[in-house]
Amino acid sequence: MRISGLRQVGLTVTDLDRAIDFYAQVVGIPLIARFGALAFMDLGGVRLLLEQQAVVEARAALYLSVEEIHPAHATLVARGVEFLTEPHVIFVDEAGTFGVAGHAEWMAFFTDPDGNVAALSSREPT
């Protein structure tokens, strides 16, 4: 057996309409479909499943890949997203362990309306 990739990531939310609005309208992730208390969004071929529940118990972190973090950060700030951190370098990949050698891994963290943590993430030359 060989795992070939990630098909879907699931988040629980308390208000599905609010979560769809946040992820589609604010963050810019396209809605694929909605079925009752479930909504499916397209994260570049990986599905983001939003499932409405009365209480959000489990937490996950989404790392959303963007080409350039500073313009993406500015776009979300303009849309009203409050960030927990400004864009900053997490790691400089000198050896090329995760991609092109010498590129830096940048991240900026924020939360959705239910407190799930998300981050913009980019790899940029140093």
Report residue 1 as tokens. 């057996």
Where along the chain do its domains lie? 1-53, 60-126
Taken in order 36, 10, 77, 65, is the CA torsion positive or negative? Answer: negative
| Residue spans of alpha helices (H) in 25-121 | 69-78
pLDDT by 10s per residue, the chain, length 126 = 776 788 899 999 999 999 999 999 999 999 999 999 999 999 999 999 999 999 877 677 889 999 999 999 999 999 999 999 999 999 999 999 888 999 999 999 999 998 888 999 999 999
What is the CATH number that goes with domain 1-53? 3.10.180.10
User: Distance of CA 88 to CAs 9, 91, 98, Å?
Assistant: 25, 9, 17
The predicted model scores a pTM of 0.84
For the chain, give the number of residues. Answer: 126
What is the CATH number that goes with domain 60-126? 3.30.720.110
